[in-house]
Chains A and B, each alone.
Chain A
Amino acid sequence: MLEIKNLVVQIEDKRILNGLNLTVNKGEVAAIMGPNGSGKSTLSYVIAGKEDYEVLDGEILLDGQNLLEMEPDQRAAAGVFLAFQYPLEIPGVGSMTFLKAAMNAQRKSRGEGELSTPDFIKQVNAAAAKLEMNKDMLKRALNVGFSGGEKKRMEILQMALLQPSFCILDETDSGLDIDALRIVSEGVNALRSPDRAFLVITHYQRLLNHIVPDTVHVMHGGRIVRSGGKELALELEANGYADYRESEAA
């Protein structure tokens, strides 16, 4: 599904990713863990297509298509979805207006007609109910005045409505209390399917109790330094990232 080969990325002359290799298969939930500054968020932004980053080498293939040659909206149309660590507030853009514009843009890219308003509202209401979202939230401007937990639910709601094939969750657990973590995780788990893959980026093992990964990768110094099964997360939780820091010093 997703294949990253020898990815080298810098921002303002600072090298962040250093020959990163990663493969995520269809139906797989891959977790990426690593200390602060290891390049986890950069990886998510580069996959989604943020402009600030300079890709010096390597490629990112999604089902064989080279993502690096595509605009962010084309990547979204190809199935990439990034749930932001810090979802942006957009004053003046109603949440429903935004959702409809996003859904219709993707339908258009697939050559489908626009959603009818009743169909759209039905879909949104059903998805929002599963995430235990307050309906008043959807009447407000996008993310404006939302709490941290509400913003993250809004991200998962978008994911549920857009039905992407490759989902990146960038520190989705940050800023969530225990109940919100459970609801958001359930929302993600409901979307797990043999045709869809996830890249779950997190600092803590806690999220992985709720979204149980198939593989865990440790990122450090801009590359994947170790890969394993879900037990690797527990080992990291017990020992921290000190081992990897020492190996770098040596």
Chain B
Amino acid sequence: MADVTLMKTPAETALVQAFESAKTTLPGSTESRAQAFEQFSARGLPHRRVEEFKYTDLRALLREVAPFAGVPTADEAKAALGGSKAFADVAALQVPFVNGHFVREAVDFAKLPEGVEIVPLREALANGHEWLAKLSPVPWASGNPVYQLNTSFMADGVMIRVAGSVETPVHLRFVTATGSAIATATRVLVVVEDDASFTLLESHESTSGANHQPNDVIEMIAGDRTNVQHVRLNAEGDKALALSTLALKVGAEANFNSINVVAGSATSRHQVYAILNGENTNLRVNGATMLKGTQHGDSTLVVEHNALHCESRELFKTVIDDEATGVFQGKIIVPHHAQKTDGRMMSAALLLAEGGSMNNKPELEIFADDVQCAHGATCGQLDEDLLFYLKARGLPQKEAESLLVQAFLGESIEFVENEDVREALVGTVEGWLKARS
């Protein structure tokens, strides 16, 4: 029988060429990159016949691969950061990235908050560093093609170590500012030591609106009795194809609270892979997604309860206007030994116009017999009776709709503990609503 050669799409061919030319200039050993790229190439870009990508067909969506961005000059970086607005009113330690490259001049390493250490990933990869061994804490995330691409191309990032109770949030500020299309791949590793508490903010925005293809991975290892608040804001330009992954391993008796708010990108896919690795841990993963025009927003989530007595709560809210498409795929896995698991997953979508669509796919994989797990998925329109009540009090149609949409998304956002951050997110929702009326 003749060998079957897989036909490569132009984008896949471009990725092969990009890897061949970049692998010698990217920092660190080429071995692990080559291995990841080989794994990726064996299957190519995922398409709709790959179950995990059924509703987000990357082979169809990624027609042309943009060139990977070079390091910006100091002036370019300064100008880009000057135009950035996300979480502007939140007091935080700024860790900025411009066009996917860490702007180390913007961080005063001598004055980091107590308990926070930051190591630039580029240097660590080039010179070696003991924390590198902690990368990829969720082994099965490595099977994901988006993650494999990140491992192949990651050009920059930081590693952060947190000990003790850190009051000041750390803000990973990703800004894109180019006139032409670029691709970026960043990797951030955060190690939260036992008993530490910490808030991580992450914002992704574009000051130029140019086509941007980011592939960002955040990996977190949260130890025992840790308390971590993670807030991610996607405010990318409306041409972006934004892929992101949060890979997470949490120890015992910990609290981990993460939210992803989407208010930008032509196409976005945020993947969360979490392992609860110690007993009595509480995990919350929320989403608040706002889509309009022909935007496509995908939230994909796998939570593995790998220990007794853990609780997980997932609440994803999606608002869909015009002809936009929302996707929610969530899976809770409970192996034999994770008895007394309590898992609840909910996805609710609000369709504001006739042409929108939502794909909900909640899944449970339960092998233990003494657990409580539930999932729910709803799609609906705004309640006419509620709208009438508001209008009867003098609110015009659009204002009444806005109030109800804010309330709908607010149920997901209200879990953000930091008040300034919560207000900034509410402001993002208000801005989105104002732009639609």
Residues of A within 8 A of B (CB): 48-51, 71-73, 75-77, 80-82, 84, 87-88, 90-93, 97-98, 101-102, 105-106, 109, 141, 158, 162
Contact = CB atoms under 8 A, between A and B. Distances in A.
A147 B396 CA distance: 28
Interface string B380-395: 0000111011111111
A102 B400 CA distance: 10
B406 A92 contact: yes
Given A72-B388, A76-B392, 20 more contacts: A48-B392, A49-B388, A49-B392, A50-B388, A51-B388, A71-B391, A71-B397, A73-B391, A73-B392, A73-B400, A75-B392, A81-B392, A82-B392, A84-B392, A88-B389, A90-B404, A91-B411, A92-B406, A98-B393, A106-B394
A229 B354 CA distance: 52
A105 B394 contact: yes
A92 B394 contact: no
Contacts of B384: 51
A72 B391 contact: yes
A105 B399 contact: yes
Contact of B408 (A77, A92, A97): A92
A102 B394 contact: yes
Nearest to A48: B392
Contact of B395 (A81, A88, A105): A105
Query: What band does the interface of chain B fall in when counting residues whose beta carbon is under 8 Å from A?
Result: 20 to 34
B410 interface: yes
Given A92-B408, A93-B403, A98-B403, A105 B389 contact: no
B389 A76 contact: no
A140 B41 CA distance: 55
Interface in B359-392: 384-386, 388-392
Looking at B385, B388, B399, the one whose CB has the most chain A CB atoms below 10 A away is: B388
B425 to A, nearest CB: 14
A217 B328 CA distance: 56
Contact of A101 (B389, B397, B399): B399
B407 interface: yes
19 contacts: A49-B391, A51-B384, A72-B391, A73-B391, A73-B396, A76-B391, A76-B392, A77-B394, A81-B392, A90-B386, A90-B389, A90-B390, A93-B403, A93-B404, A98-B393, A98-B403, A109-B394, A141-B407, A162-B393
A101 B395 contact: yes
A76 B411 contact: no
Given A90-B389, A92-B410, A92-B411, A76 B394 contact: yes
Interface string B136-171: 000000000000000000000000000000000000
A170 to B, nearest CB: 11
A9 B411 CA distance: 39
Nearest to B395: A105
Contacts of A97: 403
A105 B392 contact: no
A15 to B, nearest CB: 22
Contacts of B389: 84, 87-88, 90
Nearest to A109: B394
B395 to A, nearest CB: 5
Interface in B407-421: 407-408, 410-411
A123 to B, nearest CB: 15
Contacts of B385: 88
Contacts of B400: 73
A84 B388 CA distance: 11
A101 B407 CA distance: 14
A85 to B, nearest CB: 12
A192 B391 CA distance: 24
Contacts of A73: 391-392, 394-397, 400
Contacts of B406: 92-93
Given A90-B404, A91-B411, A92-B408, A158 B397 contact: no
A159 to B, nearest CB: 10
A107 to B, nearest CB: 9
Contact of A102 (B386, B395, B410, B411): B395
Interface in B325-359: none
Nearest to B414: A92
A93 B396 contact: no
Contacts of B404: 90, 93
A76 B403 CA distance: 18
Looking at A48, A71, A88, A158, the one whose CB has the most chain B CB atoms below 10 A away is: A88
A77 B399 CA distance: 14
B257 to A, nearest CB: 19
A97 B392 CA distance: 16
Interface in B110-129: none
Nearest to A93: B407
A110 to B, nearest CB: 10
Contacts of B403: 93, 97-98, 101
A49 B392 CA distance: 8
Contacts of B392: 48-49, 72-73, 75-76, 80-82, 84
A158 B394 CA distance: 11
A93 B411 CA distance: 10
A49 to B, nearest CB: 7
A160 B407 CA distance: 25
A76 B391 CA distance: 8
Looking at A51, A71, A72, A93, the one whose CB has the most chain B CB atoms below 10 A away is: A72
Contacts of A80: 392
A176 B400 CA distance: 29
The 3 closest A-B pairs by CB, nearest first: A92-B407, A76-B394, A72-B391
